[in-house]
């Protein structure tokens, strides 16, 4: 698999470069803050001069810009230090790590459902382009995916939680209920439905349209007719020949889409008060907790890069043209 090894190395190197670039961007953005960064970070206008100076040193805000940058890099890469949250007086990293699992639970569940259902519907719509079914699916998907996640969240909330009372209004678990074990899991799952649903909307619409488009390209290819010429059943042609090829471009685009999954998460967690890093971002905005915001941006951006890397590596593996290389 020589072709693949080279491919993989290039992708990993690319990801590393991108991450470094993001770190730089992150640094620069927060130096764009007009006015005194420390005052802004502090929030409390009555802080004494020595305290401010101490804070400056603590946060590496002394010295030239270049020195600050180096200090920042040092803290980040050698110590995993993202700074300290002002509101919580805890290291940012700790806060983030606390809430990351909840976000992962929400995201992974929602994306898994969206991708599976979306790809399935999109494949059928693309296979049967031009039919009523196809037209309906396209219109519905377009409508669904263009509406922002937080609006979906509000709609779902009003309809299913407020009006119909079928699901809870927010949070991850019912407070004070003291569930454990299976009961706890069921409770969490119950709370997961609406915020997950809000995230699923955009993603599923996107996958329907993507898969449909990829399938439309595949359907025109000669190898589909050739497969039929072998006397194979339609459903098998769809599965073994069409789908396997249509998947390829869909996997590629998944990478780009992951950046938007992040948006969905932030919006959904905010509306439903789901205790993850998305909600943390909202809270930090409200409280002007800049170190957390800066740290979160880094976390989100780096996650997207890493997820993209994984997707690229998977793609390289499933596309034989990359896995194996050219004509001999």
Partner 1 sequence: MGAVGVIIFAVFAVLAIFAPYLRTVDPMRPGLAVNRLLPPSSQFWFGTDHLARDIWSQTVYGSKIALLVGFLAAFTTVGVGTFVGLVAGFFGGRLDEVLMRIVDFFMMLPSLPLMIILAAVLGPSIWNVILVVSIIYWPFTARVIRSQVLSLKERAFVEASRSIGAGDRLLIFGEIMPNVVPLMFAQAVLMVTEGIYAEAVLAFLGLGDPATISWGMILHFAFESGALSRNLYWIVPPVVCICLVIIAFTFLGTAVSDILKPGYREARGL
Partner 2 sequence: MALLEVENLKVYYFTRAGAVKAVDGISFTVDKDETLGLIGESGCGKTTAVFAIMKFVAPPGRIVGGKIMFEGRDILTMSEEEVRRLRGKSIAMVFQAAQNALNPVMTVGSQIAEMILEHEDVTKEEAWERARRQLELVGISGDRAKSYPHEFSGGMRQRVGIAIATVCNPRLLILDEPVTGLDVIVQRQLLNLIKDLKARLRLPIILITHDLSVVAETCSKVAVMYAGKIVEQADVVSLYENPAHPYSRLLVKAYPSIKGEKGKLISIPGAPPGLVNPPVGCYFQPRCPWAMDICRQQEPIAVSNDGRMVACHLFR
Q: Does residue 211 bind partner 2 (CB under 8 A)?
A: no
Q: Which is nearer to partner 2, 34 or 327 (CB)?
A: 327
Contact 204, 144 (CB under 8 A): yes
Residue 265 and residue 304: Cα distance in Å, rounded? 13
Residue 94 and residue 221: Cα distance in Å, rounded? 53
Helix locations, the chain, DSSP H:
2-31, 37-42, 49-58, 65-73, 79, 92-127, 132-146, 149-156, 181-219, 222-229, 234-236, 244-272, 277-287, 290-318, 320-323
- Residue 33 interacts with, from partner 2, partner 1, none (CB under 5-8 Å by kind): partner 1
Residues 227-246 that bind partner 2 (CB under 8 A): 227-233, 240-241, 244-245
Handedness of CA 268, 272, 274, 276 (dihedral sign): positive
Region binding partner 2 by CB under 8 A among candidate stretches 41-49, 80-88, 207-215, 217-225: 217-225
Q: Does residue 39 bind partner 2 (CB under 8 A)?
A: no
Interface pick for partner 1 out of 5, 65, 158, 318 (rule CB under 8 A): 158
Interface pick for partner 1 out of 52, 285, 313, 322 (rule CB under 8 A): 285
Shortest reach from residue 147's CB to partner 1, in Å: 5
Region binding partner 2 by CB under 8 A among candidate stretches 198-206, 260-268, 294-302, 312-320: 312-320
Q: Which is nearer to partner 1, 25 or 180 (CB)?
A: 25
- Residue 35 interacts with, from partner 2, partner 1, none (CB under 5-8 Å by kind): none
Contact 297, 26 (CB under 8 A): yes
Interface pick for partner 1 out of 22, 173, 193, 313 (rule CB under 8 A): 22
Q: Which is nearer to partner 2, 47 or 232 (CB)?
A: 232
Q: Count other Cβ atoms within 10 Å, centred on residue 22.
A: 17
Scanning the structure block, which residue is given the tokens 């993850």?
Answer: 276
Contacts (Cβ under 8 Å, ≥6 apart) of 290: 30, 33, 40, 41, 86, 284
Q: Does residue 29 bind partner 1 (CB under 8 A)?
A: yes
């Amino acid at each position: 698999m020589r072709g693949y090894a080279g491919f993989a190395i290039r992708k990993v190197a690319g990801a590393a470069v991108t991450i470094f670039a993001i770190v730089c961007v992150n640094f620069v953005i927060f130096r764009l803050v007009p006015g005194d960064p420390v005052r802004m970070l502090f929030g409390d206008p009555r802080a004494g001069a020595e305290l401010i100076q101490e804070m400056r040193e603590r946060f590496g805000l002394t010295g030239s810009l270049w020195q600050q940058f180096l200090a920042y890099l040092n803290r980040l890469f050698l110590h995993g230090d993202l700074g300290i949250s002002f509101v919580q007086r805890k290291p940012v990293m700790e806060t983030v790590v606390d809430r990351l699992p909840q976000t992962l639970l929400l995201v992974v569940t929602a994306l898994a459902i969206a991708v599976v259902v979306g790809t399935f519907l999109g494949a059928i719509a693309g296979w049967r382009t031009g039919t009523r079914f196809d037209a309906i699916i396209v219109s519905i998907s377009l409508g669904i995916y263009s509406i922002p996640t937080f609006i979906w969240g509000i709609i779902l909330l009003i309809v299913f939680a407020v009006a119909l009372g079928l699901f809870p209004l927010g949070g991850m678990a019912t407070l004070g209920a003291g569930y454990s074990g299976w009961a706890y899991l069921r409770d969490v799952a119950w709370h997961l439905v609406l915020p997950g649903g809000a995230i699923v909307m955009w993603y599923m619409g996107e996958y329907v349209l993507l898969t449909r488009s990829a399938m439309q390209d595949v359907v025109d290819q000669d190898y589909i007719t050739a497969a039929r010429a072998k006397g194979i059943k339609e459903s098998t042609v769809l599965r073994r020949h069409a789908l396997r090829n249509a998947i390829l471009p869909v996997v590629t685009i998944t990478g780009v889409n992951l950046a938007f999954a992040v948006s969905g998460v932030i919006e959904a967690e905010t509306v439903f008060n789901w205790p993850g890093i998305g909600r943390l971002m909202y809270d930090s905005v409200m409280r002007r907790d800049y170190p957390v915001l800066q740290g979160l941006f880094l976390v989100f951006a780096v996650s997207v890069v890493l997820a993209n890397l994984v997707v690229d590596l998977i793609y390289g593996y499933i596309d034989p043209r990359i896995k194996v290389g050219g004509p001999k």
